[in-house]
């Protein structure tokens, strides 16, 4: 209504952006509910990737919003802008900044607490809204002070470019989960640290693979242990490692494949009957 009343294409751009964000919030709401469902017969690994699909769809909607804004801005530049009552637009944009700032900060806190990609995406949308609304507000102020009405569609183009950048980042993050991109390096370092803290009880590990689906992290690796250990001792070590890693990372599902050591090696530091009997140790891979 403010865009129609003032004739401001930058306010109409923000209206389009906010309408797309509303639709994206509905998609996020549905995806969070679906992804929270437990694993079942048809989905033994759970429903976490629904959030990644949601994020990709939201990014596509943001791209669509940017294209619509660019179209309207260029059309306004060709026809010639006729901005009226800029004070009304400035008031509306001021209210928009406050509302989006409050909601985006709250959503960001929730996304960090729940590790939800869908909620993080929604928080990112609203954070972008804050920035673009401030841009529109400053643009309207500049028009009011200078009388140069061409600033209005130029601000709308700037809003569109910023929105497209946000959509690109969201696409990259969401699509990474769909193609089983590995966990961030900082998280893999935590996993490695949890394992290497027990060197001396185990010999090493390899074939570490990680991925994330929604909020669920999936980790599998090969663990090398002395072949003199009993099945129960190996099992207890695997359980202990799982507990350590779950203490560092949330929502973890782990698969550990235990392997026996090789006996022809002099580098092993594990106390082992084979070393005492043969004078050599077990090999870590």
Q: Residue 279: what pLDDT?
A: 44
88 shares its domain with 205: no
pLDDT at position 273: 58
Local mean pLDDT, 10-residue blocks, the chain (285 residues): 77 78 79 75 72 77 80 76 73 84 87 76 76 78 78 78 79 70 85 86 86 80 86 90 87 87 61 52 40
* Same domain as 149, residue 121: yes
Residues 52, 161 within the same domain: yes
User: What pLDDT was estimated at residue 185?
Assistant: 87
Range of the domain at 226: 185-283
pLDDT at 222: 92
Domain boundary among 178, 196, 220: 178
Write down the pLDDT at residue 269.
Answer: 60
Q: Does residue 33 share a domain with residue 147? A: yes
Q: Are residues 16 and 144 in the same domain?
A: yes
Same domain assignment for residues 46 and 167: yes
Q: Are residues 7 and 143 in the same domain?
A: yes
Q: Final residue of a domain: which of 127, 152, 178?
A: 178
- Verify that 195 and 171 share a domain, yes or no: no
| CATH assignment at residue 278 | 3.30.70.1350
What CATH number is associated with residue 123?
1.20.1510.10
Last residue of a domain, which of 159, 178, 197? Answer: 178
Q: Do 248 and 194 fall into the same domain?
A: yes
> Is there a single domain that holds both residue 124 and residue 229?
no
Domain count, the chain: 2
What is the reported pLDDT for 285?
Answer: 40
- Confidence at residue 141, expressed as pLDDT on a 0 to 100 scale: 81
60 in the same domain as 78: yes
Closest C-alpha to 54, from 78, 84, 33 = 33
Q: Which residue in 248, 259, 231, 235 sits closest to 197, CA to CA?
A: 248
Are residues 234 and 123 part of one domain?
Answer: no
């Amino acid at each position: 209504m403010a865009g129609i009343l003032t004739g401001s294409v930058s306010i109409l751009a923000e209206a389009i952006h906010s309408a797309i964000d509303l639709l994206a919030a509905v998609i996020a709401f549905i995806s969070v509910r679906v992804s929270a469902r437990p694993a079942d017969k048809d989905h033994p690994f759970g429903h976490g990737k629904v959030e990644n699909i949601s994020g990709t769809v939201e990014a596509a909607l943001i791209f669509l919003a940017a294209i619509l804004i660019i179209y309207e801005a260029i059309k306004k530049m060709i026809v010639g802008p006729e901005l009226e009552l800029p004070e009304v637009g400035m008031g509306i944009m001021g209210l928009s900044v406050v509302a989006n700032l409050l909601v985006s900060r709250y959503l960001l806190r929730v996304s960090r607490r729940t590790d939800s990609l869908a909620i993080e995406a929604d928080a990112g949308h609203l954070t972008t809204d804050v920035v673009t609304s401030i841009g529109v507000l400053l643009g309207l102020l500049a028009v009011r002070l200078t009388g140069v009405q061409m600033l209005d569609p130029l601000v709308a183009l700037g809003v569109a470019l910023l929105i497209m950048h946000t959509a690109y980042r969201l696409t990259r993050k969401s699509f990474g989960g769909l193609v089983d991109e590995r966990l961030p390096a900082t998280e893999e370092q935590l996993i490695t640290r949890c394992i290497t803290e027990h060197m001396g009880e185990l010999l090493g590990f390899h074939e570490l693979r990680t991925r994330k689906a929604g909020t669920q992290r999936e980790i599998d690796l090969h663990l090398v242990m002395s072949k003199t250990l009993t099945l129960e001792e190996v099992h207890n070590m695997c359980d202990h490692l799982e507990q350590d890693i779950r203490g560092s990372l949330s929502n973890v599902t782990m698969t550990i494949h235990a392997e026996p050591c090789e006996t022809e090696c002099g580098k092993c530091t594990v106390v082992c009957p084979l070393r005492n009997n043969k004078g050599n140790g077990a090999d870590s891979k």
